[in-house]
Amino acid sequence: MVGITTGSLGAGLMKRNFWMAAALGAFALAACGGPKEVVKAFSAEEPFPSNPYPSTYAPYPNAPVLITNATILDGEGARIENGSLLIQGGKVTALGLEIAAPEGAVVIDAAGRWVTPGIIDNHSHLGAYPSPSVTAHQDGNEISAPVTAEVWVEHGIWPQDPGFSRARAGGITALQILPGSANLFGGRGVTLKNVPARTVQGMKFPDAPYTLKMACGENPKRVYGYGRGSYPGGAPYSRMGNMAGYREAWIRAADYRRKWDKYNIEGGDMPTRDLELDTLAGVLSGEILVHMHCYRADEMAQIMDMSREFGYKVTAFHHAVESYKIADKLADYGACSSMWADWWGFKMEAYDGIPENIPLVANAGACAIVHSDSDVGIQRLNQEAAKAWADGKRIGIDIPIEQAWEWLSLNPAKSLGIDDVTGSLKPGKNADVVIWSGDPFSIYTKADQVFIDGALMYDRAHPETNAVTDFELGQPGEGDVK
């Protein structure tokens, strides 16, 4: 049996190790100078690489760190007063009241300060819509057609976006970059470590599954229908057209998947590869997670039915300003809602946004996530959570802060399929850790130190040691406190 399995369509995590090894092994002498990489010709056994743009990220060197005397939120609902956290080899190795400092450990006395898992924003456009927001930088939306599942946002990310640095100063240790919401299918999203790097590959979160961005409602019909009729197709023009557009694409994806299944079992001529359908078939095989921009409750209900029709699952609805109206249904279905604290009113589908959306969703037992969709909001998602938390409290939804923190780290990690390695301070997980100057739900609190895989990547007390992007070099304000 030759060819690829259905299971490796799209994200193809299974094949990653093989292809990395293949690339590293394929060296030969090139025409000029020393040995250069020679591009390998692919064989019938492996007709194409399943992970052609692999992560090159590796944790940066770090000494053991022992944080003591802190108020620690473990990210899974527990709070430890006067606690200690030990980081070794880039991992959380111990969490508790009394932990002895291993030899060579840097001991940080965090008396009066708080320690939490790093914040994970599962809705960002940093790099794809970077600063400065000039025309040449609009790489977040392939508006040329309503179905562009073939594009991958990582191919439009500029790693020199100063927004990554600002987000790091706000305690963001990982983030999902999504394509924009003009299209029914916007393309693949990517999960990044929030580390400075020369390449996007240097930021890619190792082994994170790919995601697919989809969009409901006003955006697709405005962009392709009545608003910008000059684009090809002219459809969708209505919410009916939106649904027909998704369904038509899923039918093609199912057919494509069948062709590959047949080929894998029976052999014969290899089906022609289709980038768009690679991604959609990856969703149908469960390897690619669906993140769908959807505001209205009634539309989310339609989408949940559609996912049942085609046999996939929506991992998270994004923006979801009306999730509070169907929080019970979302809990039953098992989709996360990725929400703002208080955005509302900027368009009709955002008209019913309320500040209690997040606590109402959490209170119904559904998965609640605080997201930014903003290069400003991403810098203080802890404050966005705090506002929502307080507004919930005011109507009698009293969620302890140590549970509310799940909105910021663990739940977004789950929605990105990386909760086995990050999102909480469980021993064994990556040491993605923030030391806050105080209660992180207070407006006066700032991130003092941000560790990513145990390496200190932001230190407020030593601004001269922090990252400055290429773009900011030689410009007014270079290296300033931002």
Partner 1 sequence: MIRHLIAATSAAACLALGAMAETYAVIGEKVWTGTDAGTIDDGIVIIRDGRIVTVGGPDTPVPEEATVVNAEWVTPGLISAFSRTGIVEVDAEDSTNDTSAALSPFSVSLNAADGFNPDDTAIDVTRIAGVTRIVVAPSPATNLFAGQGFVADTTGSQETALRERAFLYMSMGEGGAGLAGGSRPAAWAQLRAALDDARAYPGRYAGGGEGDVLTRRDAQALASAARGQQLILVSVRSATDLNALMDLAESDRALKFAVVGGDEAWRVADRLAALRIPVILDAFSNLPGSFDQLAATQENASRLVAAGVSIAIVNLGNDSHLARLMTQIAGNAVANGLDWDEAMKSLTVTPAKIFGLSGYGTLAVGARGDVVAWDGDPLENTSNTDAVFIDGVPQDLTSRQTELRDRYRTLDESQRPLAYVHP
- Contact footprint for partner 1 (CB under 8 A): 131-134, 162-163, 166, 218, 324-328, 342-348, 351-356, 360, 364, 375-376, 379-380, 383, 386-387, 389-391, 393-395, 441-446, 471-472, 475-477, 480-482
Question: Tokens 């690489």 — which residue?
Answer: 49
* Contact assessment for residue 407 and residue 368, using Cβ atoms and an 8 Å cutoff: yes
CB of residue 344 to partner 1, shortest distance in Å? 6
Residue 16 or 113: which CB sits closer to partner 1? Answer: 113
* Contact assessment for residue 335 and residue 326, using Cβ atoms and an 8 Å cutoff: no
Residue 218 or 453: which CB sits closer to partner 1? Answer: 218
Residue 95 or 350: which CB sits closer to partner 1? Answer: 350
Residue 32 phi/psi, 5° resolution?
-110, 130
Token pair of 146 as six digits: 């309503």
Residue ranges of alpha helices (H) inside 148-189 are 162-169
Q: Rounded to 5 degrees, what angle do the CA atoms 462, 463, 464 make?
A: 90
Residue 101 or 354: which CB sits closer to partner 1? Answer: 354
In sequence order, the 6+-apart residues with CB closer than 8 A to the CB of 202 are 55, 56, 57, 159, 195
Residue ranges of alpha helices (H) inside 285-431 are 297-310, 327-333, 357-363, 381-394, 401-404, 410-415
**Strand 289-294 to 27-29 pairing:** unpaired
Residue 202 or 463: which CB sits closer to partner 1? Answer: 463
CB of residue 4 to partner 1, shortest distance in Å? 43
Residue 394 phi/psi, 5° resolution?
-65, -25
In sequence order, the 6+-apart residues with CB closer than 8 A to the CB of 295 are 216, 217, 218, 319, 320, 321, 322, 349, 350
Residue 394 or 462: which CB sits closer to partner 1? Answer: 394
**Strand 65-73 to 114-117 pairing:** parallel
* Contact assessment for residue 73 and residue 79, using Cβ atoms and an 8 Å cutoff: yes
Residue 13 or 401: which CB sits closer to partner 1? Answer: 401
Residue 91 phi/psi, 5° resolution?
-115, 155
CB of residue 321 to partner 1, shortest distance in Å? 10
Distance CA 179, CA 140 (A): 5
Residue 206 or 355: which CB sits closer to partner 1? Answer: 355
CB of residue 197 to partner 1, shortest distance in Å? 19
CB of residue 325 to partner 1, shortest distance in Å? 5
CA 180 to chain centre: 13
CB of residue 358 to partner 1, shortest distance in Å? 12
CB of residue 481 to partner 1, shortest distance in Å? 6
Distance CA 431, CA 116 (A): 10
CB of residue 453 to partner 1, shortest distance in Å? 26
Residue 21 or 376: which CB sits closer to partner 1? Answer: 376
Q: Is 389 exposed, middle or buried (0-12, 13-18, 19+ CB in 10 A)?
A: buried
CB of residue 236 to partner 1, shortest distance in Å? 17
